[in-house]
Amino acid sequence: MTDEKNKFDEDAAPDLVTIKDENDIGERGLSRLAKPFRRDKPAINEIIREAEAGGVVYRLTKAGKLQIVLFQDVRDRWTIPKGHIEEGETAQESAIREIGEEVGLFGIEPICWLGKVNFRYRRGNSLVIINMQTYLFKAGKDESLKKEEWMHDVRWFDFDEAIDNIAYEDVMKLVLLARKRLRQKGEIE
């Protein structure tokens, strides 16, 4: 080693100066910017990764209005039908199965892949990370919606109303992308 100071040497580091004013004192200071530390939940000790698939299902009314099917979960959040990919299934096969199981639409036609969404939630002391593949489907003729027991509701929404009701921003972006794809294909104006 040479006599020159190592650039990582502690003595070579500049002094840090804390800037304070009357607002940076006590509980009103930096603590107001920090997220509250929650002691009521156990520490996360496991990360679980899950693969899901779902779909934006649409239909056109006789008047040519675009409608999207959404369901309302047990927490009153509106979203698209989706679920876990079973062993041996492709993501698209899983999306078709889940749409049939969750909202009762079995005669859907695949249009295109829309993208994937990653989201996470806490399950006990585990962090669950979900990767959801999402597809665009056209509903079959004259199929009626049927909800699963655990759902609060399932229904068709006019496009703008669907956008206003979707609880998840990433899902809303996929629904907007679905409309763009339909415009590109000449299905809607």
Structure confidence at residue 184 as a pLDDT band (50, 70, 90): very high
Backbone angle region of 186, left / alpha / beta, with phi > 0 → left and psi within -120 to 50 → alpha: left
Helix, coil or strand: residue 113? strand
Please give the distance of CA 66 from its chain centroid, rounded to a whole number.
22
| pLDDT, tens digit, 9 for 90 and up, residues 168-177 | 999 999 999 9
The class of domain 46-184 in CATH terms is: alpha beta
Sequence-separated (6 or more) residues with CB below 8 Å from residue 25? none
| pLDDT, tens digit, 9 for 90 and up, residues 129-146 | 999 999 999 999 877 898
**Structural Rg of the chain based on CA atoms:** 25
| pLDDT, tens digit, 9 for 90 and up, residues 12-65 | 444 444 444 555 445 545 555 555 555 677 888 999 999 999 999 999 999 999
- pLDDT of 5 over the 50 cut: no
Residue 135 dihedral angles phi and psi, to the nearest 5° = -125, 160
What CA–CA distance (Å, rounded) separates 183 from 181? Answer: 5
Indicate the pTM of the whole model: 0.76
Sequence-separated (6 or more) residues with CB below 8 Å from residue 73? 79, 150, 151, 152
Domain ranges, ordered by start, for the chain = 46-184
The token pair that represents 15 in the structure block: 């002094």
